[in-house]
Amino acid sequence: MTEQIAPPVLRAVRLTKAFGGLVAVKDVDFEVKAGSITSLIGPNGAGKTTLFNVVAGLSDPTEGYVEFLGQKMVASPERGWLEPILWVLPAGLVWLLTYGLGLAGVVTAAIEVLILVGLGLLIATLIVAVIRPAWYTRLLVVLGVFKSARPNDMVQAGIGRTFQNIRLFANMTALENVLVGMHGQLKASPLDAVLRTGKQRREEVASIEEARRLLQYAGLRNRDNELARNLPYGDQRRLEIARALATKPKLLLLDEPTAGMNPSETATMMKLFSRIRTELNLPILLIEHDMRVVMGISDSVTVLDHGEKISEGTPDQVRADARVIEAYLGKGAI
Amino acid sequence: MSPRRSISSAIGNSPVGRGSGRLRAALRPATSSAGRYFGKHQSLSVLVGMAVATAILPLVVLIPPFSGFGGQNDFVDGFASAGVFVLLAVGLNVVVGLAGLLDLGYAAFFAIGAYTYAYGASPFSGLDVPFWPMLLVGAAVAAMAGLLLGAPTLRLRGDYLAIVTLGFGEIVPVVFLNADKYTNGTNGISALYQPALPAIGDFGFINPWPYYITVAAIIAVAMMLLYRLEDSRLGRAWMAVREDELAAASMGINTVTTKLLAFAIGASTSGLAGVFYASKLGLVSPSQFGFTISFTVLAMVVLGGMGNIWGVAIGAFVVYEIQSQGLKQLNNFVASSGIPPIHIGFVNVDLSAVNFLDYQFLLYGLALVGMMLLRPEGLFPSRRRKQELHDVDDAGASNQELVEA
Amino acid sequence: MDAGILTQQAFNALTIGAMYALIALGYTMVYGIIELINFAHGDVFMVGSFVTLWLLSTFGVQGAINDPPRLTIMLIVMFAFTMTVMGLVGVVIERFAYRPLRNAPRLAPLITAIGVSFILQNIIQVTFSNSPVNVPRVIEPQAGATVQLPQFAVANFQVTASPVTFAYSHIFIIVLAVSLMVALQLFVGRTRLGRAMRSTAIDREAAQLMGVDINTTIALTFFIGSALAGAAGVAWALNYGTTKFDIGFQAGLKSFTAAVLGGIGNTTGAALGGFLIAFIEVFSSQLGYSRWSEAIVFSILILVLVFRPTGLLGQRLAERA
Amino acid sequence: MKPRPLAFIAIVALVAAACGSSSGTQGPKAVKIGVDLPLSGGELPNGDPTIKGVELAIDQNPVAGYTVTINKQDDAVNGIHNPNQGATNIQTLIGDSSVFAVVGPFNSNVAQAEIPKSNSAGLIQCSPANTNPGLTKGTTGADLRKSNPTKIAYVRVATTDDIQGQAGADIAYTVAGAKSAYVVDDTETYGKGLADVFATEFAKLGGTVVGHDGVGANQQSDFTALLTAAKAKNPAFVYFGGVTATGGGLLRKQMVDVGMGSIPFGGGDGISDGSAATASSFLNVAGPQGDVNSYMTVAAIHDIPNAAKFASDYKAKYGTEPGAYSASGYACAQIYLQALAKVGSDREAVRNYVTTTANVFPTVLGNVSFDANGDTTQHIISYYKYDDATKDWKYFEQKDFTSGVTTTAAP
């Protein structure tokens, strides 16, 4: 195994997540190194999924933060209330001015124009808030507003994921599912679609080719036109991975990808992960509760129990750790 | 009913599947030229289908019992009015059927489109902008209103959105009603200018043909464009959001922008309908745009088959005709047929004394409930739904194949 | 500045708010447990007022009953009967319109709910009347305690006070609504069935595994919610002495707004929202903007949701996406 | 744009037109009076008595050489009058060549949609109930009939709101002797129009309008807050612009509840809907204490020649009392039947005959003729006050606002 000198792809620092009084994750640090498979394991209820959801941007941590490729992506929000105020502020100021002018007895025509200007400003700011151009984000940073990246921002940044309980688009075909995964790479605008420009048509045809390639890669030959919900269970898992790969990730988050599979299916799946790592050079963060499954392919394993990190290291180191054995088998098992 | 049959046969002949037509096209011989051919063909088939339907519908007057209902102009006029609701339903289909957002204030955008035309072309404002640019302006203004409402509220969960849109649908008529100075209040704005197009001739007030052809053309173009959108990156994103919003976000789809676009596009279609409606009726007043319009259009979309553009168009057409003609003719029929009063125990039912028009909402209600319980895919399910039902059978077979593979 | 008028208006708002709150509770309970906006709920309230009308005409009641024991019995009969009937109606609606769709996409039960609302309205419309219908008011509507608030001056600012009348019927409605709300809180918080309801609301599958009968629990929720709406229907008839087939849509809409404003799923929030909306309405009337009051209510709803997507007291986080 | 379908449709139209031609017959000519009224849902109580008036007129006034029937159209959709449906209906009536004249519509915004069409087609319409001045007068009236500005095709037998509002102000200021008034309207075309005129005219007479508020369609059950605010302003009169269905009776009832029962109350013909015994009428909803001190105006002459006979004939045929607009519907039909007898069933001839300002039509409402805008020249308003003995409205005087003559009821 070669040593990695490159900085970690993903770094979680002092992550804590509490639901009311219940602390699900407590002060957890870990990192995923480039080109490695890192596994997060622990018994049921250890806080794996909670941690995973924080990392994937689904819920904000109570404390700590997550960095991806050196950029802070997820932390608890700061001054979140400021943002909605920003939206109504310009319009509000204009309307206040209008009200003042009205009190001062200025002609109504000017006031009507100003009211419309305010309305226009309101629409404009709301649209800006939705589109979030770079300057808007910078403005928020200047004002000290921090909001965790939305899940779709995480994907754009390069984190692809699968779900523990499969979440495919059930009434869309396998091919369409993968095409949805490619959404972020496609550039054709709605206007292109309406006008059926050459650019849009070329892009569509190319993306269909690419999607079929990905389906084949994940082991789904000739299943393109099958509705996702009609696929057998194992294929649904594969389709989720194909769909996640379609987002062109720089890091793949897999949430119990072998749950509910028989040993031979699991073995095939493991092979797929190794291939993804070696052929695509894609780092993987894997969640599992079955320790044996991950030992064969992981470069590094982090063990959680009751929300706390109890061990970390190579599979061999972890396997030998007394606390891990205790967590899995109970006190006195040694 | 023969008009229905003629439309559905038109669909049956055209190689149009919902959404995935283009994908399927690309899959057969996976060449880009084939893809281009079917891509073109699909849009064309909408135009051809609409042209055929437009040409055939007026012939309904030759077929009994429709021939007894009125003259051909009456029918054509009714069809032109039905066209307004077809447009509304096709637009709402994007919001409800494709993106899965429940919009209960859809009439607000209809009102905004109609009032936009009233400002652009009436003695009230003193402006006389021609109809054709006003169509675009109306659509744009309605889309703006959609953005204004959607931007702050689309981050809410689905049910909150329903109630916010319902509230918005109530606010808009109240504003038009009470801002007397700008909207002429409860009297509304009347004597709007009629459209004009040299090729079609004078629209006038009592010749329904130009309106009929105009609305058919608007519907054809709108449907073609919506078809193209549905079969694009954006259309897939809408469906993904509808299927599983969280998973969609985790695939890199900006769900808020995607929903906002659905909202704006639905609103702009509604705006188009509003402009046409106002120009045909020559009148806008706040009471015309109440929640009953929103709910009627929703019923049309549900009955026609959510997500299926032809289905909702036909659903809207059928529901409108039943509402404006069918129940009335049923009244006449029952009254003239001399059905004797029925006595069941102490219950006396005298059908000839029943005014079926009084039962419209009961019929809507039963239709909505029955539809959801028995046939949630609507009267005219899309191919995809049929495929779903069909696939249930061979899914089992393929399961086994796979285990061996 | 007249303190008397403000007090009178606040009292008016409390009366209306009590009715909104009762209806809002049903919305919020049903939403809490099966995440369905029960659009037919407002119409259940409306039907409740007609059930009262039917009951009173069956008993041959023409107007106010001035004999306290008879009045008490009549009130008990009215509420018990109407609440039971409406509770059962709610259960029936749930059984036939919503239960078959429990695992369907979210849109499906919402649309049936709209359908049920249409059906209820139309049935009442053709059975009774298109126009407002009189309901005898069993509590003498003009009877009440008139109170003179103290008048005083702060510096040069004279605070006058015209006499305030607290009508007995209004007091009764407020007291009744508050006691029903307290009873509901106790029921949900202290009893076995209440616990079953809460656990079902939090996680239906887990509750099922713990031996909670989901169907019974949901039916019970509908029963209680609809019974409360029925009580609001009786209160409406008592207060206004009139009813109409379409009052359900408007009252339902405002009550749902109240539930959302307070934070849906939260019973205290629903009550708070109901009173808040009533205050907004009443004081926009006081300022002479009755014609705008509806627009004001919904604008405030939109604003609240923009700034606090979970409502004022809502705790559940909205999905971030 | 799309030439081919167009040509195709043109052919279709020709074929259809050819098939539609009818053959002539011997005997009396069958002609129709079109009727467009709201006839379902909540508005049935408006439309039904009116169409019955039309039927009665046709029964009682046969025209030699013609059999007259009705082409009935309902402009209510989902139980509420709908301008779009009205426009469709007038189109249908225009398309029915046996229709020579139309009675209706009932509601002003339906009229706004219909007038341009009937004007363009030259088919005469007579509204029994439209009172909104803008339909005929001023620039809005002219705009509505711009396709044939000189050919009036819309007349009405009801006196317009601007006159009735004056009468309301007259009642408040002169009859009730009030110097201050609070005005409430229902934000609808009729109600708001009437209330606005009342406010202007009351101020002209020297009174003070202490407040004017409106209640939209979704608040028309609770007026307590509005009335509490109104009470603080100590008005001597409360005027309501609107109809019973939009809150007229409830407003009065709640006035009693908040202690304003002794203040006189007035409204237009929208609250003229029968005695206290009639279910859902103003007097029924307002309750016995609210009825006292209530005034009402009707935009028609009271001293009509044969009022009693009309009422008894109506009752004999239908078993109910005539509605507020039964006589108006009857009068419209009478005018048409007289024109039919005089000039035949040609639409243009009938239109021309009816709208010729010199022609005077003896009707159940007295002698009716129309001015250059198509409005009735009768500007007589009848005043009514609640009478506790009969539990019904009681006529006490009528005023002609053209001549200023007041006729008081015989004691």
- The Cα A96–Cα A113 span in angstroms is 14
**φ, ψ for residue D243, nearest 5 deg:** -120, 170
pLDDT-based confidence at residue D7 (cuts at 50, 70, 90): very low
Q: What average pLDDT does the segment A66-92 reach?
A: 84
Tell me if there are at least 3 CB pairs under 8 Å linking chains B and A: yes
Instruction: With a cut of 70, say whether residue B402 has pLDDT above it.
Output: no
pLDDT in tens, B135-158: 999 999 999 899 888 877 777 776
- Average pLDDT score over residue span C218-241: 94
Which range of A58-72, A73-87, C125-139, D49-63 scores highest in mean pLDDT? It is D49-63
For testing contact with chain B, the best of D1, D4, D8, D9 (most B CBs within 10 A): D9
- Whether C125 has its CB under 8 Å from any CB of chain D: the answer is yes
Residue of C nearest to B378 (CA): C108
**C286 closest CA partner among C4, C53, C9:** C9
ipTM of the complex: 0.88
Minimal Cβ distance to B388: which of A127, A154, A171: A171
First CA to last CA across chain B, in angstroms? 50
Task: List phi, psi (to 5°) of A68.
Answer: -125, 125
**Three-state DSSP state, B57:** helix
- Using an 8 Å CB-CB cutoff, list chain C residues near A58: 320
**pLDDT at A28 > cutoff 80:** yes
User: CA–CA separation, C98 vs A32, rounded Å?
Assistant: 47
* Closest chain B residue by Cα to residue A157: B252
How large a percentage of chain C has pLDDT more than 90? 40
Greatest mean pLDDT range, A165-169, B166-170, D204-208: D204-208
- Give the contacts of D109 (CB within 8 A, at least 6 positions apart): B187, B188, B283, B285, B287, B288, D81, D83, D189
pLDDT band at D14 (very low <50, low <70, confident <90, very high): very low
* pLDDT value, residue C24: 94
CATH classification code of B43-333+353-362: 1.10.3470
Per the CB < 8 Å rule, is A151 touching B256? no
> With 60 as the cut, is the pLDDT of residue B392 above it?
no
Does residue B268 or residue D132 have the better pLDDT? Answer: B268
The CA-based dihedral angle spanning residues C233, C235, C239, C240, taken in that order and rounded to the nearest 10 degrees: 0
pLDDT reading at B6 higher than 60: no
Q: What share of chain C is helix, strand, coil (3-state, %, to 5)?
A: 70, 5, 25
Domain ranges of chain B: 43-333+353-362
- pLDDT tens string D22-37: 444 567 899 999 999 9
- Is chain C adjacent to chain A, meaning 3+ CB pairs within 8 angstroms? yes
In contact, B332 and B355? CB cutoff 8 Å: no
Stronger pLDDT, D411 or D286, i.e. the higher one? D286
Q: Are C221 and C29 in contact (CB under 8 A)?
A: yes
Alpha-helical runs (H) found in B154-188: 158-178, 180-183
Q: Which of B372, B373, B388 to mutate to test the interface with C (most CBs of C within 10 A)?
A: B372
Q: What is the pLDDT of residues B288-344, one digit of tens each?
A: 898 889 988 998 998 888 888 888 999 999 989 888 888 878 887 877 777 777 776
C318 pLDDT tier (thresholds 50, 70, 90): very low
Longest dimension (CA), chain B: 77
Give the pLDDT confidence score for residue C1 in this predicted structure: 58
Beta strands A37-41 and A284-288 are parallel
pLDDT over 60 (residue C107)? yes
Per-residue pLDDT, averaged over B60-77, amounts to 80
Note whether B26 contacts A56, CB cutoff 8 Å: no
- By DSSP bridging, strand D366-368 and strand D361-363 are antiparallel
Cis-peptide, bond into residue D105, ω within 30° of zero: yes
Average pLDDT over residues D284-312: 83
Higher-pLDDT residue of A41 and C179 is C179
Least CA distance to A81: which residue of chain C? C307
Contact B368 C318 (CB under 8 A): no
| Helical (H) or strand (E) element with B51 | helix B32-56
Asked whether the beta carbons of residue C320 and residue A84 sit closer than 8 angstroms, the reply is: no
Q: Verify B-D touch: 3 or more CB pairs within 8 A.
A: yes
User: Residue B201's pLDDT is what?
Assistant: 66
Size of chain D in residues: 411
Check CB contact under 8 Å for C317 and A59: yes
Asked if residues C41 and C30 have their Cβ atoms less than 8 Å apart, the reply is yes
Q: What is the DSSP string of A36-65?
A: -EEEEE-STTSSHHHHHHHHTTSS--SEEE
Work out the end-to-end distance of chain C between its first and last CA atoms, rounded to an integer number of angstroms: 49
* D63-88 average pLDDT score: 88
Residue with tokens 């045909």: B280
pLDDT in tens, D55-75: 999 999 999 999 999 999 988
Give the pLDDT confidence of A274-301 residue by residue, as tens digits. 888 888 888 999 888 777 777 888 888 9
**Do B22 and A204 make contact, defined as CB atoms within 8 angstroms?**
yes
Q: What integer pLDDT is reported at residue A117 of this predicted model?
A: 87
Residue D98 C-alpha, separation from nearest chain C C-alpha, in angstroms:
34
Cα–Cα distance between D350 and D359 in angstroms, integer? 12
Is the Cβ of C105 closer than 8 Å to some Cβ of chain B? Answer: yes
Nearest-CB residue to B186 (from D44, D147, D189): D189
pLDDT digits (tens, 9 = 90+) for C39-54: 899 999 999 999 999 9
**What global pTM score does this model have?**
0.88
Tell how far CA C218 is from the center of its chain. 19
Burial of A115 from C-beta contacts in 10 A (0-12 / 13-18 / 19+)? middle
Give C17→chain D minimum CA distance, Å.
12
State both tokens at D193. 């129009």
The predicted structure's pLDDT at residue A332: 52
Q: Say how far apart CA B228 and CA A132 lie, in whole Å.
A: 27
Q: What is the pLDDT of residues B162-202, one digit of tens each?
A: 888 888 998 999 999 988 888 888 888 988 888 887 766 67
For residue B153, the distance in angstroms to the closest alpha carbon of chain C comes to 6
Q: Which CATH number fits domain D161-298+381-408: 1.10.150.80, 3.40.50.2300, 1.10.4190.10, 3.10.20.340?
A: 3.40.50.2300
Q: Which helix (H) or strand (E) holds D211?
A: strand D208-214
E strand segments, chain A: 10-19, 22-32, 37-41, 63-68, 71-75, 159-161, 251-255, 284-288, 300-305, 308-313
**CA A159, A163, A168, A174: dihedral to nearest 10 degrees?**
60
Q: If we measure between CA atoms, which residue out of D231, D233, D238 comes closest to residue C8?
A: D231
CATH superfamily of D29-159+305-378: Response regulator (3.40.50.2300)
D98 phi and psi angles, rounded to 5 deg = -80, -10
**Contact between C1 and C160 (Cβ < 8 Å):** yes
**Helices marked H in D233-368:** 248-257, 282-291, 307-318, 326-343, 347-355
**Residue C207: pLDDT above 90?**
no
Distance, in angstroms, between B304 CA and closest chain A CA? 19
Residue A44: pLDDT over 80: no
Taking only the tens place, the pLDDT of each residue in D222-272 is 898 999 999 989 999 999 998 888 888 899 999 998 889 899 999 998 888
Single-letter residue type at B290: G
Percentage of the residues of chain A whose pLDDT score is greater than 70: 96
pLDDT for position B347? 64
Q: Is the pLDDT of residue A333 over 70?
A: no
Interface C–D counts its CB contacts (< 8 A) at 106
Q: What is the mean pLDDT of chain A?
A: 84
- Tokens standing for A305? 């129990």
Average pLDDT over residues D296-321: 83
* Chain A: touching chains (3 or more CB pairs < 8 Å): B, C
CA angle C78, C81, C83 (to 5 degrees): 95
Kindly report the nearest CA distance between residue B299 and chain A, in angstroms: 23
Residue D204 has pLDDT above 60, yes or no: yes
Is residue C158 pLDDT above 90, yes or no? Answer: no
| Chain-chain contact of C306 with A84 (C-beta, under 8 angstroms) | yes
Q: Which of B395, B251, B254 is nearest to A163 (CA)?
A: B251
Q: Do C134 and D224 touch (CB under 8 A)?
A: no
Q: Which string of b and e fits A200-232 if b means at least 16 CB within 10 Å?
A: bbebbbebbeebbebbebbbbeebbebbbbbbb
SS3 A127: helix
Helical packing angle, A198-217 and A174-181, nearest 10°: 110
pLDDT band at B404 (very low <50, low <70, confident <90, very high): very low
The whole-chain average pLDDT of chain B stands at 79
Collapsed DSSP state (helix, strand, coil) of residue D34: strand
What distance in Å separates residue B17's CA from the closest CA in chain D? 25
pLDDT band at C81 (very low <50, low <70, confident <90, very high): very high
The Cα-based distances of B156 to B96, B240, C298, D242 in angstroms read 16, 17, 16, 40
Element (H, E) at B209: helix B209-230
Contact with chain D for residue C141, Cβ under 8 A: yes
pLDDT for residue B15? 32
For tokens 């005083």, what's the residue? C152
- Place B87 in a pLDDT band, splitting at 50, 70 and 90: very high
Per-residue pLDDT at D325:
85
* Minimal C-alpha gap between C86 and chain A (Å): 38
B177 touches chain D (CB under 8 A): yes
Rg of chain D over all Cα atoms, to the nearest angstrom:
22
Measure CB to CB from residue C298 to each of B167, B365, B367 and give the nearest one.
Answer: B167
DSSP states of B92-116: HIIIIIIS----S-HHHHHHHHHHH
Say whether B298 and C114 touch across the interface (CB within 8 A): yes
Residues in chain B, how many?
A: 405
Nearest to C14 by CA among D214, D228, D250: D228
CA distance B112 to B119: 10
pLDDT for the residue numbered A103 = 78
> Which distant-in-sequence residues (6+ apart) come within 8 Å of A242 by Cβ?
A174, A177, A178, A181, A214, A215, A217, A218, A220
Domain ranges in chain D are 29-159+305-378, 161-298+381-408
Amino acid identity, position D201? E
Cross-chain Cβ contact A150/C317 below 8 Å: no
